[in-house]
Structure 1
């Protein structure tokens, strides 16, 4: 049983370049090399809120017949849903880390 033809199908892994840009946040702190965790978290929540509002507007436009396609509305809805799920996972990890720190004996 020859498996040589399988090697022709499999492609080698692609190298992903590292991120060279700072996370969008306060530009003053990014220039200094400092990152304010609270500000980054607040910015992320604002972005997710704007995605939720955009999805609501698209769904409303679809229902009212304002020329919004079903595809556009569903894409906005899924984008907002995925962003919310990510935020929820990050929140869970932060809570678990906090609980672990609080259990640490000094």
Structure 2
């Protein structure tokens, strides 16, 4: 085992090399903004999925109540995580804003 690697942390393989001729800009990792917007879109999709499942249950359609509950809990958990991320970002912004230059 590598002495710098934690025994509990799995080793991540290096990213695959880019195909030859690919410009450097295309090889760059996605921006923070893109990752954040993708996460927000995923949370929004989970919320819509939970709403649709509840609507199906209320209207008497054939749907498993356990699946509805699981869908609601997943949407709730993802929304809470998104809220915590937002809170941390606001806190970091406030700290940077209050720094003396």
Interval containing the TM-score (normalised by the shorter chain): 0.7 to 0.9
Instruction: Tell me the residue number matched to 1:25.
Output: none
Instruction: Tell me the residue number matched to 2:75.
Output: 80
Q: 1:40 aligns with which of 13, 20, 35?
A: 35
TM-score, with normalisation over the residues of structure 1? 0.73
- Residue 93 in 1 paired to residue 88 in 2? yes
Higher relative contact order (CA 8 A, sep 6+): 2
- CA-based RMSD: 2.5
Distance in 2 between residues matched to 1:18 and 1:30, nearest whole Å = 27
Q: Which of the pair is proportionally richer in helix? A: 1
Q: Sort the Cα spacing of 1:20 and 1:77 in 2 relative to 1 into closer, same or farther, 3 A.
A: farther
- The within-5 A match list for 1:43-82 is 43-82=38-77
Q: CA deviation at 1:32?
A: 1.6
Distance in 1 between residues matched to 2:14 and 2:80, nearest whole Å = 24
Q: CA deviation at 1:33?
A: 3.2
Which aligned runs of 4 or more in structure 1 are off by greater than 3 angstroms?
A: 18-22, 28-31
Q: CA deviation at 1:15?
A: 3.4
- Secondary structure of 2:47's aligned partner: helix
TM-score, with normalisation over the residues of structure 2? 0.76
Unaligned runs of 5+ in 1: 1-13, 23-27
Q: Sort the Cα spacing of 1:83 and 1:30 in 2 relative to 1 into closer, same or farther, 3 A.
A: farther
